[in-house]
């Protein structure tokens, strides 16, 4: 049993930013971060485009960024949240810089600003095309300097501890008391009792086979919160990024940043026709939902497997300076962007919904907070504006820190039972986990993709029920491990996406159902 003031689940931008702030302000309080896999593995690490932020109010304005966010969110953003996040952005970015993150400057010494879909101005601060790598590096380095943070890598949070686990259950409210955590190296399950718990467990991309996310994005935070009966909303709004590098085998796909289109690249179909102008006046720089839906329409019409991103007309020496990683990655795949078009497809990229939180990052469960991609703050509405995600995590980590600083929690005297897996065995048929994962991903890709229909969603529910039953049976009798827990979590997340899709009767942003036309 570990006891701590603050338990943080996840070591991406959201969890690390909160931990650094808390540890710096309160050196006497201890913070435990648990994270599965290596400490830096996260969606954050792969962020390319950058952080959208208004730094010069003469060239740009908060109002324009607010307006762009509201338009992208298609009427479903919470306007007051949008205003807070955008106006707080510059301060939070400056803190990140103080902690050591470097962002590119132009020849005049000002930030070199990029542009992405849906933005009316150049306002995306970036570190070449590996912004997330730099942010993660800087935050981890700060974390390692702070003595009151314990970072436990290869520690997988299985479930939140709530009233449900206590032998004496006297409270009518649901409270969170910490989490059960699996040491992935030893197989031991430890109980971490915490006065306050922060879920910062990231995205869900792996629920779809084709994704820009790394394999760790299995929706564990959302699933844990859901099982603990926290409020979860807007799960139907899965954002598909228009330009993942095409790979016939699918899987985790390399992203070709939207900033490449911001730099002037064109989308063409196989015949060479630049098709975006016919779908939207903003052409390649329409918001992501529109570009992905347009590509989907083109592919359905032509029967082709991918469309193409044409960079050949651009200033290629500048391109290589801005996008060295993308340039190299394409070369590794024998695509020379100076002559070749890049084959691209839309892929699942970002969860706009998630665990419902208020302005202080509080969930509907007492002492449980959520931050970053697993949370639903109201910023994104039906579709997130590009590069607003790192921004949201930075601002909400601060909001949560501020709230907790003013409401410093104490550990309760509850007796928390240890994890009970008496009678559980190491599963003999691991093929079941692999098989069901493949089935789940195929189901989500084929029935719950960019364009949905009630018929396909109903079919998806039926198939999912079969997978759910088989996996729950296995879970009940098994000694748990990461792969099995992740699969179980992805099934919960799929259930939420399909169920909430069926509830939405109007197409908005990233949600497009043929029966709602
Ligand atoms: P993550 O960074 O994903 O961190 C989650 C952490 O939780 C990880 O450490 C993970 O291991 C851990 N974890 C998960 N489950 C468990 C568990 N059960 N137990 C213990 N630990 C767990 N956004 C932008 O704003 N700008 C961009 O340019 C941009 N580019 C992107 C490019 C790519 C390829 C991708 C995939 C995303 C991009 N995004 C971008 C989105 C953005 O990167 C993410 O939304 C953001 O980084 C999420 O941060 P997070 O801290 O919430 O989650
Ligand atoms: C990208 O660089 O295209 C990703 C940006 C984002 O997801 O915000």
| pLDDT score of 429 more than 80 | no
**What is the predicted pLDDT for the residue at 170?**
64
Looking at the chain, the domain(s) classified CATH 1.20.58.100 span 431-479+481-516
Which residues are registered as beta bridge partners of 162? 176
Mean pLDDT to the nearest integer, 381-408: 97
Looking at the chain, the domain(s) classified CATH 3.50.50.60 span 2-236+352-406
Identify which ligand lies nearest to the alpha carbon of 36.
1
Has domain 431-479+481-516 been given CATH number 1.20.58.100?
yes
Cα dihedral 135/140/142/145 (nearest 10) = -170
| 3-class DSSP state of 207 | helix
Mean pLDDT to the nearest integer, 151-161: 98
**What is the DSSP code (8-state) at residue 513?**
B
Question: Angle at the Cα of 23 (from 21 to 26), degrees rounded to 5?
Answer: 105
Q: Which atom of ligand 1 is nearest to the CA of 485?
A: 18
Question: How many whole angstroms from 47 Cα to the centroid of ligand 1?
Answer: 8
- The verdict on the CB of residue 258 being under 6 Å from ligand 2 is yes
CB 323 within 8 A of CB 154: no
Query: How confident is the model over 292-350, as pLDDT tens digits?
Result: 999 999 999 999 999 999 999 999 999 999 999 999 999 999 999 999 999 999 999 99
CB 11 within 8 A of CB 171: no
Where b means 16+ CB within 10 Å and e means fewer, 372-408 reads bbbbbbbbbbbbbbbbbbbbbbbbbbbbbbebbeeee
Which residue from 348, 251, 264, 347 is spatially nearest to 307, judged by alpha carbons?
A: 347
Identify which ligand lies nearest to the alpha carbon of 136.
1
**What is the predicted pLDDT for the residue at 428?**
73
| pLDDT score of 206 more than 70 | yes
Distance (Å) of CA 18 to CA 24, 138, 210, 394: 10, 14, 31, 8
| Protein residue closest via CA to atom 38 of ligand 1 | 47
**What is the DSSP code (8-state) at residue 229?**
T
Which residue from 374, 345, 413 is spatially nearest to 219, judged by alpha carbons?
A: 374
Which residues are registered as beta bridge partners of 111? 105
Query: How confident is the model over 260-283, as pLDDT tens digits?
Result: 999 999 999 999 999 999 999 999
Q: Which atom of ligand 2 is nearest to the CA of 258?
A: 3
The C-alpha atoms of residue 479 and residue 171 are separated, in whole angstroms, by: 30
Q: Is 227 a catalytic residue?
A: no
| Protein residue closest via CA to atom 20 of ligand 1 | 35
Q: Which atom of ligand 1 is nearest to the CA of 10?
A: 7
Ligand 1 pocket, residues with Cβ under 6 angstroms = 9-15, 34-37, 41-44, 46-50, 131-132, 156-157, 200-203, 212-213, 216, 220-221, 255, 350, 372-373, 387-390, 393
**What is the predicted pLDDT for the residue at 467?**
98
Question: How many whole angstroms from 201 Cα to the centroid of ligand 1?
Answer: 7
**What is the predicted pLDDT for the residue at 449?**
97
Pocket test for ligand 1, best of 10, 388, 492 (most atoms within 8 A of CB): 10
Mean pLDDT to the nearest integer, 426-444: 90
Q: According to the 3-state scheme, what is the secondary structure of 387-453?
A: CCHHHHHHHHHHHHHHHHHHCCCCCCCCCCCCCCCCCCECCCCCHHHHHHHHHHHHHHHHHCCCCEC
Element (DSSP H or E) covering residue 63: helix 62-72
Whole-prediction pTM: 0.98
Mean pLDDT to the nearest integer, 391-414: 94
* Residue 238 neighbours by CB under 8 Å, 6+ apart: 204, 208, 348, 350, 351, 352, 497, 510
How many C-beta atoms lie closer than 10 Å to residue 55's C-beta?
15
**What is the predicted pLDDT for the residue at 421?**
84
Pocket test for ligand 2, best of 133, 241, 292 (most atoms within 8 A of CB): 241
Query: How confident is the model over 98-129, as pLDDT tens digits?
Result: 999 999 999 999 999 999 999 999 999 999 99
**What is the predicted pLDDT for the residue at 427?**
74
| pLDDT score of 131 more than 70 | yes
| pLDDT score of 169 more than 70 | no
Q: Which atom of ligand 2 is nearest to the CA of 349?
A: 7
- The verdict on the CB of residue 72 being under 6 Å from ligand 2 is no
CB 9 within 8 A of CB 135: no
In words, the CATH class of domain 2-236+352-406 is: alpha beta
- Token pair for 416: 């928390």
CB 347 within 8 A of CB 367: no
The C-alpha atoms of residue 348 and residue 276 are separated, in whole angstroms, by: 20
Question: Angle at the Cα of 418 (from 414 to 422), degrees rounded to 5?
Answer: 145
- Token pair for 156: 């997988």
Q: pLDDT grade, residue 165 (50/70/90)? A: confident
Query: How confident is the model over 462-508, as pLDDT tens digits?
Result: 999 999 999 999 999 999 999 999 999 999 999 999 999 999 999 99
| pLDDT score of 187 more than 90 | yes
The C-alpha atoms of residue 61 and residue 108 are separated, in whole angstroms, by: 21
Torsions phi, psi of 331, nearest 5?
A: -60, -40
245-347 in CATH: which number?
Answer: 3.90.700.10
Question: How many whole angstroms from 422 Cα to the centroid of ligand 2?
Answer: 45
CB 396 within 8 A of CB 98: no
The C-alpha atoms of residue 313 and residue 396 are separated, in whole angstroms, by: 40
Query: How confident is the model over 213-262, as pLDDT tens digits?
Result: 999 999 999 999 999 999 999 999 999 999 999 999 988 999 999 999 99
What percent of the chain is modeled with pLDDT above 90?
92
Rg (CA), the chain: 22
| Protein residue closest via CA to atom 39 of ligand 1 | 47
Q: pLDDT grade, residue 166 (50/70/90)? A: confident
| 3-class DSSP state of 304 | coil
| pLDDT score of 188 more than 70 | yes
**What is the DSSP code (8-state) at residue 467?**
H
Q: pLDDT grade, residue 411 (50/70/90)? A: confident
The C-alpha atoms of residue 72 and residue 76 are separated, in whole angstroms, by: 9
Looking at 142, 288, 384, 488, which residue is catalytic?
Answer: 288
Pocket test for ligand 1, best of 119, 202, 400 (most atoms within 8 A of CB): 202
| 3-class DSSP state of 183 | strand
Query: How confident is the model over 21-51, as pLDDT tens digits?
Result: 999 999 999 999 999 999 999 999 999 999 9
Q: Which atom of ligand 1 is nearest to the CA of 202?
A: 53
Where b means 16+ CB within 10 Å and e means fewer, 472-491 reads eebbeebebbbebbbbbbbb
**What is the predicted pLDDT for the residue at 339?**
97
CB 19 within 8 A of CB 33: yes
Q: Output the average pLDDT for the chain.
A: 96
**What is the DSSP code (8-state) at residue 374?**
G
Q: Which atom of ligand 1 is nearest to the CA of 45?
A: 2
Higher pLDDT, 423 or 517: 517
Q: According to the 3-state scheme, what is the secondary structure of 14-38?
A: HHHHHHHHHHHHCCCCCEEEEECCC
- The verdict on the CB of residue 386 being under 6 Å from ligand 2 is yes
- Token pair for 176: 């969170």
Q: pLDDT grade, residue 422 (50/70/90)? A: confident
Which residue from 258, 434, 449, 446 is spatially nearest to 348, judged by alpha carbons?
A: 449
The C-alpha atoms of residue 60 and residue 65 are separated, in whole angstroms, by: 8
- The verdict on the CB of residue 287 being under 6 Å from ligand 2 is no
């Amino acid at each position: 049993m570990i006891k701590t003031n603050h338990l943080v689940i996840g070591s991406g931008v959201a969890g690390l930013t909160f931990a650094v702030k808390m540890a710096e302000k309160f050196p006497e309080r201890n913070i435990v971060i648990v994270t599965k896999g290596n400490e830096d593995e996260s969606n954050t690490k792969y962020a390319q485009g950058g952080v959208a932020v208004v730094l010069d109010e003469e060239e740009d304005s908060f109002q324009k960024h607010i307006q762009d966010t509201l338009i992208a969110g298609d009427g479903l953003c919470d306007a007051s949240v949008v205003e807070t996040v955008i106006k707080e952005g510059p301060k939070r970015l400056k803190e990140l810089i103080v902690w050591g993150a470097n962002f590119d400057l132009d020849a005049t010494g000002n930030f070199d600003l990029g542009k992405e879909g849906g933005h009316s101005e150049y306002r995306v601060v970036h570190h070449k095309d590996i912004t997330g790598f730099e942010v993660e590096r800087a935050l981890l380095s700060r974390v390692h300097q702070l003595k009151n943070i314990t970072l436990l890598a290869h520690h997988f949070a299985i479930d939140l501890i709530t009233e449900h686990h206590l032998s004496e259950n006297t409270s009518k409210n649901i409270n969170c008391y910490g989490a059960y955590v699996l040491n992935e190296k030893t197989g031991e399950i430890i109980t971490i009792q915490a006065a306050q718990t922060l879920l910062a467990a990231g995205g869900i991309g792996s629920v779809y086979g084709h994704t820009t996310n790394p394999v760790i994005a299995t929706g564990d935070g959302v699933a844990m919160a859901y099982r603990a009966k926290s409020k979860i909303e807007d799960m139907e709004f899965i954002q598909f990024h228009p330009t993942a590098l095409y790979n016939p085998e699918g899987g985790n796909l390399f992203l070709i940043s939207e900033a490449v289109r911001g730099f002037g690249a064109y989308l063409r179909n196989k015949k060479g026709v630049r098709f975006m102008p016919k779908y939207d006046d903003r052409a390649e720089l329409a918001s992501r939902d529109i570009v992905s839906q347009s590509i989907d329409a083109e592919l359905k019409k032509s029967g082709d497997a991918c469309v193409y991103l044409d960079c050949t007309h651009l200033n290629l020496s500048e391109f290589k300076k801005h996008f060295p990683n993308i340039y190299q990655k394409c070369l590794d795949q024998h695509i020379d962007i100076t002559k070749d078009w890049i084959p691209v497809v839309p892929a699942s990229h970002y969860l706009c919904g998630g665990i419902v939180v208020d302005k202080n990052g509080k969930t509907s469960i007492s002492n449980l907070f959520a931050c970053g991609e697993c949370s639903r703050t109201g910023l994104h509405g039906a579709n997130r504006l590009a590069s607003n995600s790192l921004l949201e995590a930075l601002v909400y980590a601060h909001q949560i820190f501020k709230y907790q600083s003013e409401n410093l929690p104490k550990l309760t005297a509850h007796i928390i039972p240890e994890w009970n897996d008496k009678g559980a065995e190491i599963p003999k048929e691991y093929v079941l986990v692999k098989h069901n994962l493949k089935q789940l991903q195929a189901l989500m890709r084929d029935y719950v993709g960019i364009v949905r229909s009630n018929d396909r969603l109903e079919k998806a529910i039926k198939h999912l029920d079969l997978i759910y039953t088989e996996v729950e049976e296995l879970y009940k009798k098994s000694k748990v491990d990461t792969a099995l827990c992740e699969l179980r979590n992805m099934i919960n997340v799929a259930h939420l996406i399909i169920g909430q899709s069926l509830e939405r009767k109007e197409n908005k942003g990233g949600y497009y159902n043929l029966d709602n036309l």
